[in-house]
A and B are shown apart, each in its own frame.
Chain A
């Protein structure tokens, strides 16, 4: 999540230096119902500083320009809907900023038509999330429509670092892979190199959110960027080995 301490751009660079292939920038929202304590707290801090979607776009534009980074915005439906100019205004500004796409955790396929109508013409992807609870019939219907990559949520629950990943992640990803040739990323709970290593033969990418935020907040104020770089680097190494 961005903040006014100007720490954000330093952190984004650190993540890239550590080997991140894609950056997910969180848009704060007052009611983040899919998130656990870590992301909730980060969102609260950002909101207290008055961070807006416009500022998130500005932050994204800078890192895209400076490092040619692939940036996704992660946020809930309401702030996107209420953006100046509505969804069309947002899509236009996001495309100008060089954002690659968005992830909207409270927007299931059934409710996504107006978002897709605004995003598609601007070449922006809306990344769908699928869960272990999604039945095959639903996967068969919806996964073929996915854009960019397919985001598989590894567990039934909210975001937050976990010690162990769900036992059935491989089985779940297998069920999804039958319906797409797009890359599949697994996220939620991933917090350690062992998790990444265990997913090497299962997924094409991993998404790490809360654990990265934890690494940042655990570090001393002027060592946060380095702590993040080192953390990302350890995960990237486990993904390559």
Chain B
């Protein structure tokens, strides 16, 4: 469905828009990653850490009161909020850290916009499915455990696949992780929900797919929020994790191919969804996946959508101050 013209390319999106200085480093990384992927011992060690330290597999929780409130037959929540550290990010962090160790790297650099010094001794750990190849593919690979588990759990629970899978999309790591297991299931609809901020029309949002255009940012050709000169715009969202002016290139391609429907929900809608899930099921979501919960009523309008799987990418303890300030909880 998506033409992979060469590794790292998803249709017209993806690539490695990097200074020459870094090209050998990403080539080394890609080779090491592919080697580790094929190594049974590496996979066993990764599985062990995910099981014993991260707490996988994460449960699939039925949310009958939420389903009733939004007009769906069943809502199943994939509980990445119950993973160690409270979010799905740990899956890729652990995978990349083990890979760095395997490569003999002595230091980890993580998303500080750090410079290129120490390229040889350090490893750049990227937290989402963005950036130059191999990062989007590698992060997807480490997050695909979410989708694999969820698909098995749905079959066991429903005796069938879900009608719709929905996830929030910032850079796109939890979404690609859960979507990846269902891409080839033609009857399963996939919905990605971006941060609508104060509304698309206001210009104050972070919805790169719904409100953006093609551009090159942070090493990849993807959909970005930019002005007419190609300068990247400031973004706005109540949720920090979705507040990014770009999106993973694979999502850009999936949207263009029509395999995934991307929507945007506003800050207000996400805050209301935060309260709704908390009250109906006693589960406090992070504001990021609250955007996915906010899309459920719209999904329910399609009569064919009865059973919906939601990726609950993280828990919301970190967001209580914001939520109280916004008057959602009194």
Contacts and interface: CB of A to CB of B under 8 A. Distances in A.
Interface string B111-135: 0000111011000000000000000
Contacts of A79: 229-231
B24 interface: yes
Interface in A141-161: 153, 156-158
B116 A158 contact: yes
A130 interface: yes
Interface stretch (B14-22, B267-275, B278-286, B314-322): B14-22
Given A53-B229, A78-B226, A135-B24, A33 B19 contact: yes
Interface stretch (B56-64, B74-82, B213-221): B213-221
A144 B17 CA distance: 21
A82 interface: yes
B23 to A, nearest CB: 5
Nearest to B230: A82
B218 A129 contact: no
Given A82-B230, A106-B17, 10 more contacts: A29-B230, A36-B115, A53-B230, A78-B216, A79-B229, A79-B230, A106-B19, A108-B16, A110-B23, A133-B120
Contacts of B22: 133
A82 B215 contact: yes
A129 B20 contact: yes
A110 to B, nearest CB: 6
Contacts of A33: 19, 218-219
A127 B226 CA distance: 26
A131 interface: yes
B115 A77 contact: no
Interface residues of B, number: 29
A211 B216 CA distance: 28
Contacts of A108: 16-20, 23
A138 B26 CA distance: 14
A107 interface: yes
Contacts of A130: 20
B207 to A, nearest CB: 18
B116 to A, nearest CB: 5
Contact of A107 (B17, B215, B226, B231): B17
Interface string A155-174: 01110000000000000000
Interface residues of A, number: 36
A193 interface: no
Tell me which of B19, B117, B215, B224 has the highest count of chain A C-beta atoms within 10 A of its own C-beta: B19
A111 B15 contact: yes
Given A77-B17, A111-B17, A157-B115, A133 B230 contact: no
Given A53-B229, A81-B230, A31 B20 contact: no
A47 interface: yes
Interface in A8-48: 28-31, 33-34, 36, 47
Which 3 pairs, one residue from A and one from B, show the smallest C-beta to C-beta distance? A82-B230, A131-B21, A79-B230
A106 B230 CA distance: 15
A133 B16 contact: no
A157 B116 contact: yes
A92 interface: no
B257 interface: no
B228 interface: yes
5 contacts: A79-B231, A106-B18, A108-B23, A111-B15, A134-B23
Contact of A134 (B20, B214, B215): B20
B240 interface: no
Nearest to A131: B21
Nearest to A107: B17
A81 B216 contact: yes
A196 B298 CA distance: 65
Contact of A133 (B17, B21, B115, B228): B21
